[in-house]
Amino acid sequence: MAKKALMVVSFGSSYEAAMAAIENIEETCKNAFPDYDFFRAWTSGVIARKLKKTKGIDVLNPREVLDKLVEEGYEEVLCQPTYIIGGIEVDKLTVILEEYRDRIPVIRTGKPLLTDEEDYETVCRAVMGELPHPLGEKEALVLMGHGSEHHANNTYFMFEDMMRDMGYERTFVGTVEGFPRLDYIIRRLKRNRIEDVILMPLLIVAGIHVREDLAGEEEDSWKSVIDREGFRSSVIMEGLGEIDAIAAHFAEHLRNAEQI
């Protein structure tokens, strides 16, 4: 019987609490493909080295996993990246996978979370389902994405537009790195006479960007800035990967994986 591998590729996280998001996606994908041997890969060497130093845990990068699979004679690799947008990290992973086409007969990969129109609809519903209550007339949801210099940064604009098309008018999407920035979001909140703001990460894990950039006590965190601007704020400390509907959608992308 041909040996088949499932490789779930994440950026990684050194925060133990944030690992729940990655593990939820991994377990969901494993359960969806029980006939495949599971392998974890992280793309951040910095995080992997930190985890090795502080906890003695080894996490391989994609090339290391693929080398192992070649050595052990695997004939099929099913790969799912846990990225939201098809940006720089996905481009890098695609290049790596292409390097192994002559050594592994079948390599198929699933798409990032937000790729097709139905992806946006599914994720919008999943995000709104995490709110503690429906948004009031003077209440808004502000989502914080990572942001990118890659053209896939347009994903954030489309996500907000889809939210509005689905009837969620008081939802705003900003990014840590790139546009739209927080100052742009704040101007729009004021124009809409918003008084209360729910902050939520549009990120797979609730790692450093959530704990410091979004909800940290530093004066330049999103919560601190929004509070200083006169809004009342609260934070949902949850990565998207912790939401079962999101994990299930990654597994669905695996079912539709395409040959490299």
Biggest CA-to-CA distance, the chain? 64
| Residues paired with residue 139 on neighbouring β-strands, in sequence order | 196
- Name the strands in the sheet holding 196-201, side by side, starting at the edge strand that comes first in the sequence: 171-175, 139-145, 196-201, 232-235
Instruction: Give the integer Cα–Cα distance in Å for 76 and 150.
Output: 30
Contact 97, 50 (CB under 8 A): no
**Residues with active-site annotation:** 146
The whole-angstrom distance between residue 145's C-alpha and the CA centroid of its chain comes to 9
**Counting beta carbons within 10 angstroms of the beta carbon of residue 159, is it exposed (0 to 12), middle (13 to 18) or buried (19 or more)?**
buried
Q: Which amino acid appears at position 57 of this protein?
A: I
The two three-digit tokens of residue 185, written as one number? 């979001």
The whole-angstrom distance between residue 67's C-alpha and the CA centroid of its chain comes to 26
Contact 120, 114 (CB under 8 A): yes
The two three-digit tokens of residue 188, written as one number? 């729009």
